[in-house]
Amino acid sequence: MSIRTKLTVRDTASSAPSATDKPAPRREVSEEERALRKERVAAAKDALKRSVGLRGEQVAPARAAIKLYLQRLNEPRQPDDAAFKALIEGPFQAPPRKRERR
C-alpha cells in the first residue's frame, strides 16, 4: 500500500487580501533628514562604545535609553536637538549629589 499525502485546498475567500490589509503609505524622506539621521546614529553608537567601561548609577539607564532610541529610529516622533544631546551625554554626566539634612 502506498502512502498518499493529503492535499488541502485553501478557502479562496479567506486567503484574498481584505481592504484592511493594505500597507501604510510610505513617507518620503528628504536628503536632509537622512543626513541628520546618519549623524545621530553615528553619535549614538559612539556614545555606546565610549560608555562601555563606565561605572555609576546613571550609566545603565542612560545606555538603555540610547539603545531604545536606536531601536525606534523609524517612528515618526524623534527627540529634538537638545533632548538628543542630553540623551547622548547621559552616561558621561555624574548624577547630582543628594543633600544631607542636618
pLDDT digits (tens, 9 = 90+) for 8-30: 766 655 555 666 667 767 777 78
Q: Taking the model in full, what pTM does it have?
A: 0.65
- Tell me what the mean pLDDT of segment 33-60 comes to: 90
Between the alpha carbon of residue 34 and those of residues 25, 42, 50, 63, 73, the distances in Å are: 19, 12, 24, 24, 11
Most confident range (mean pLDDT) of 7-11, 21-25, 67-71, 97-101 is: 67-71
Total residue count of the chain as it appears in this document: 102
- Tell me what the mean pLDDT of segment 71-79 comes to: 86
Please give the mean pLDDT across all residues of the chain.
81
